Amino acid sequence: MSRPKVFFDVTLGGKAAGRIVMELFSDIVPKTAENFRALCTGEKGTGQSGKPLHYKGSKFHRVIPNFMLQVDDFIMFILTLKIQGGDFTRGNGTGGESIYGEKFADENFKEKHTCAGQLSMANAGPNTNGSQFFITTVKTEWLDGKHVVFGKVVEGLDVVKAVEAIGSQSGKTSKEAVIADCGQLA
């Protein structure tokens, strides 16, 4: 069985930046991969929030190109990396919803954060996966065992780097980075 491939067509400041193609690890984390795939296609319709279960039109709400110290819910994280998106309910990193309901459990931590271009679930602690995800821009091994890696970028790492270039230490972007379109290729 081949792994599914999905895509994001990204705009930066309203201008086309290119396409990111991602392969999903459906053989390792089938539930997590299916959540992301279905959110790329929008095939599940409307969620409990009343919003479409779809990444199309959502923003990369946090882009951290280098190093920062982030404090969330009294837990300190050191982050060197990331491009985060997937909050299609509120657009600011405080919302999101999975195809299974608001949140779902961590599936497993078999895959590690070993390089740039990995897809991983953003969360607020154990078993709080929804729709938010991030794409690594460097190796981030301290996230192993805390965030489920469920895929990798196979084309368009240059687009990931272009998104990274508009980020800041605070995570705010200098221009809007939007998933203008998305879907499944194979």
Residue 76, helix vs strand vs coil: strand
Residue 40 has pLDDT above 90, yes or no: yes
What is the domain range of residue 148?
5-184
- C-alpha 140, offset from chain centre: 15
64 confidence band (pLDDT: 50, 70, 90): confident
Report how far residue 168's alpha carbon sits from residue 76's, in angstroms, rounded to the nearest whole number. Answer: 19
- What's the number of domains the chain is made of? 1
Give me the CATH number covering residue 156: 2.40.100.10
pTM of the model: 0.89
41's CB contacts (< 8 A; 6+ apart) are 6, 54, 182, 183, 184
Supply the residues annotated as catalytic: 62, 67, 70, 123, 134, 143, 147
Q: Which amino acid is at 88?
A: F
Closest CA to 150 of 184, 122, 178: 122
Report how far residue 107's alpha carbon sits from residue 100's, in angstroms, rounded to the nearest whole number. Answer: 13
9 confidence band (pLDDT: 50, 70, 90): very high
**Looking at per-residue confidence, does 90 or 47 come out higher?**
47
How much is the pLDDT for 78?
39
**Looking at per-residue confidence, does 148 or 136 come out higher?**
148
Residue 44 has pLDDT above 80, yes or no: yes
Residue 26 has pLDDT above 90, yes or no: yes
How much is the pLDDT for 79?
42
**Looking at per-residue confidence, does 70 or 176 come out higher?**
176
Mean of the per-residue pLDDT values of the chain? 86
How much is the pLDDT for 100?
95
Report how far residue 162's alpha carbon sits from residue 156's, in angstroms, rounded to the nearest whole number. Answer: 10
Please check whether residue 42 is in contact with residue 53, taking contact to mean a CB–CB distance below 8 angstroms: yes
Residue 66 has pLDDT above 60, yes or no: no
